[in-house]
Homo-oligomer: A and B are copies of this chain.
Amino acid sequence: MPWQGRTKQDVLSEVRCAEILDAARGVFARKGYQAATMDDIAAATGVGKGTLYLYYRSKRDIYLAALERGLRAVCDITAAALDTAPTLEEKIRAFVLTKVQFFDDHRDFYRIYHAEFGNVVAHPSCLPPSVKQLYLGQVQQLEHAIEAARDEGRIRPVDPGKAAFAIFEITRGLIARRLLADPSLSAEAEGAFIVDLIWKGIANR
């Protein structure tokens, strides 16, 4: 019996999918893609291994679904942060701090995300377009904000794509450092430094 275009089965199925992805995220984070086995994921989900194949076609499918899910969450949260902040300087600060905070709150996802984008992006053809687009979308959000400010003459006439890219990469590095090397690194202090550096770098005068 259709309900909002989805049957009861559809909804139950979605719940299962989400359960599997939640469990898989933890397993992939803990053991890495290769070392994680389907038996691990099944056990973590609390179902039999065969059940996984009712919802996903392969191990890689599960991995990519978990990746896409998290990536979408990142994009949503940074887009909201950029929208809310009034000035470009505050937008940059919001982008950096929001993203750092997101990965603080989702350490499991960090390992999936950075394993893929440090490694398999090396073979970009392996990534489905939807995932690639989400990844690039993050830079584009920043780019548009910078472009607008430049067109209004609020900053010097830099290339928005290049500037967005610089901010994106430094942020990426900060997140990696905090999660892998030195968790005590202050998000505020480091974030403030980045914003200051970039702002002085692109400001008028």
Say which size band chain A's interface belongs to. Answer: 35 or more
Contacts of A34 in B (CB 8 A): 34
| Other contacts beyond A118-B118, A172-B173, A197-B201: 13, CB < 8 A | A32-B122, A111-B122, A115-B118, A115-B119, A162-B190, A165-B170, A165-B177, A166-B194, A168-B173, A169-B169, A197-B198, A200-B200, A201-B201
10 contacts between A and B (CB under 8 A): A32-B122, A114-B118, A119-B119, A158-B197, A163-B197, A169-B174, A196-B201, A197-B202, A199-B201, A201-B201
A124-B181, A170-B170, A201-B201 known; A193+B162 contact, CB < 8 A: yes
Contacts of A15 in B (CB 8 A): none
Q: Is B163's CB under 8 angstroms from A173's CB?
A: no
Nearest 5 CB-CB pairings of A with B: A118-B118, A169-B173, A201-B201, A197-B201, A119-B119
Residues on the B chain within 8 Å of A198, using CB = 197, 201
* A residues 146-203 touching B (CB-CB < 8 Å): 158-159, 162-163, 165-166, 168-170, 172-174, 176-177, 180-181, 190, 193-194, 196-202
Q: Does B124 contact A115, Cβ atoms closer than 8 Å?
A: no
For A121-141 the 0/1 string (1 means CB < 8 A from B) is 111100000000000000000
CB of A115 to closest CB in B, whole Å: 5
Assembly CA distance A4 to B96 (angstroms): 55
Any B CB within 8 A of the CB of A53: no
Q: Which residues of chain B come closer than 8 Å to A197, judged between CB atoms?
A: 158, 162-163, 166, 198, 201-202
Q: Closest Cβ of chain B: how far from A195's Cβ, in Å?
A: 10
- In angstroms, how far is the closest chain B Cβ from the Cβ of A147? 15
CA distance A169 to B198 in the complex (A): 13
Q: Is A55 an interface residue (CB 8 A)?
A: no
What residues of chain B lie closer than 8 Å to A56, measured between beta carbons?
Answer: none
